[in-house]
Amino acid sequence: MENLPRQKPRVVIVGAGFGGLEAAKKLACKDVHVTVIDRTNHHLFQPLLYQVATAALSPADIAAPIRGILSKCENMEVILAELCSVDVNAKKVKLSDGAELDYDFLVLATGARHSYFGHDEWEKLAPGLKSLEDAIEVRRRLLMAFEYAERITDEAARRAAMTFVIIGGGPTGVEMAGAIAEIARHTLAKDFCHIDPSQARVILVEGDPRLLATFPEDLSASALKQLVDLGVEVRTGARATDLTETGVQVGDEFIPCRVKIWAAGNNASFVGKTLGVPIDQVGRVMVNDDLTIPGHPEVQVIGDLANFSHQTGQPLPGVSPVAMQQGRLAARNILAMIDGHKPQRFYYWDKGNMATIGRHKAVADLKLVHLSGLPAWLAWLFVHLIFLVGFRNRLLVLFQWAWAYLTFNAGARLITRNFQSETRPPA
């Protein structure tokens, strides 16, 4: 790698999710040299990933090339590579291809992956939803399950193929459960000869006594009711204790099912461990109130990788507004420090929380008001369109939603990759 001239302070941002991208945007065209490192070439609008998984949207609708977003300013360099380790004392990051980069300021925003609570072997059985690849795989499994059910005559096997278990009743789990129920009852309803997709069972399993634990109780209750109206079977206070190819053990009951989806837990990226500072149980870095790490004011950690407990005593939730607000402050603090000022502390401005369940079905906690059903759904639609990155994507998504709304038809029902082993009925 050539190292660029060092006149300008050099900022390295690792991760171009909501936090990292916001930080980079704030530093664009400023008097610093910025290097953004990400292991994919796209910024992903993760809150809509479940719509790719359920065939409502295409991958490109919710992903934008990082280079395209950041190419307007000359102080911006984008590197497609994976972070290997950070040496905070030498002020260097090492990439997995062997390259090393020096920095004057570092922003770590590498996020989180699913956590299977020590059962890593469950990942293959029950994929989660973090990347486009995850979503395409879930979409493939969903659609293949119906294809398989159509061709098999054994009643028990057919029933298992048409049973979908979602583990985890947070926003992702609730959204997946609602979307699968809708696709089965509407989109696919008339597509098959030997099965009736509307008879599919969708089971949502949550260990807590209620769904959407981070929402107010009245909205949890409303979400439950809206899901039940859609025909989803909700099991709260129930834990998945074992997963196998053929099903899920939930408490005393073994539920035979082909497709399982994991929406239960997250672990922060491994990067936190390499910094030599305190981390919490799920790997998040315990940051100072200005997002820096102890002893290193030039290193800031933001988003799902950070445990910021200075505001409420509890870690802030792993949602995009937290990451975006932290990204913006990280950038501002870097510019302040360059000018010889002290970094500011972080305050999260919580504008609320939303989850969608289906057509005209959602919950929205807007702090001053709690919305359910159609008003919540319209609010959700509006907010998600506003925040979709890139004008083109917003229009494309709007168009596809309008189309799906009018026709009950999910357009992106593609099965790609090899399916051979899956259509074959068991010997």
Q: Length of the chain in residues, anyone?
A: 427
Under the criterion CB under 8 A, does residue 381 sit at the interface with its own copies?
no
What is the token pair recorded at 177?
């459960």
Place of tokens 């168009």: 399
59 Rama sector, left if φ>0, alpha if ψ -120 to 50, beta otherwise: alpha
152 versus 357: smaller Cβ distance to its own copies? 152
139 versus 235: smaller Cβ distance to its own copies? 139
Measured between alpha carbons, how far is 107 from 332 in angstroms, rounded to an integer? 12
Contact mark string toward its own copies, 37..66, x via CB under 8 A:
---xxx---------------xxxx-x-x-
**What is the side-by-side strand order in the sheet with 201-206?**
233-236, 201-206, 163-167, 259-262
Q: Which stretch binds its own copies (CB under 8 A): 19-27, 113-121, 305-313, 398-406?
A: 398-406
What is the token pair recorded at 253?
């009951």
CB 65 within 8 A of CB 42: yes
Under the criterion CB under 8 A, does residue 274 sit at the interface with its own copies?
no
> Which one of 87, 120, 191, 217 is in contact with its own copies (CB under 8 A)?
191
User: In which element (H, E) is residue 135 found?
Assistant: helix 132-151
- Residue at 358: amino acid letter: G
Report in angstroms how near the CB of residue 325 gets to its own copies at its nearest: 27
Under the criterion CB under 8 A, does residue 84 sit at the interface with its own copies?
no
Residues 121-150 touching its own copies, rule: CB under 8 A, are 132-133, 136, 143, 147, 150
77 versus 280: smaller Cβ distance to its own copies? 77
Those residues with Cβ within 8 angstroms of residue 270's Cβ, 6 or more apart along the chain or in another chain:
283
155 is catalytic: no
CB 64 within 8 A of CB 43: yes
DSSP secondary structure code for residue 294 in this structure = T
Report in angstroms how near the CB of residue 419 gets to its own copies at its nearest: 7
Place of tokens 């490109």: 60
> Which one of 92, 119, 130, 151 is in contact with its own copies (CB under 8 A)?
151
Give the active site residue among 22, 175, 182, 206: 175
From the list 157, 192, 193, 197, the residue with the least C-alpha distance to 181 is 197
Under the criterion CB under 8 A, does residue 415 sit at the interface with its own copies?
yes
CB 167 within 8 A of CB 261: yes
Under the criterion CB under 8 A, does residue 71 sit at the interface with its own copies?
yes
Measured between alpha carbons, how far is 265 from 168 in angstroms, rounded to an integer? 8
> Which one of 123, 366, 396, 401 is in contact with its own copies (CB under 8 A)?
396
Q: How many chain residues interact with its own copies (CB under 8 A)?
A: 61
Residues with catalytic roles: 175
Interface contacts to its own copies, rule CB under 8 A: 1-2, 4, 40-42, 58-61, 63, 65, 67-68, 71-72, 77-82, 96-99, 132-133, 136, 143, 147, 150-151, 153, 188, 190-194, 392-393, 395-396, 399-400, 403, 407, 409, 411-417, 419-420, 423-425
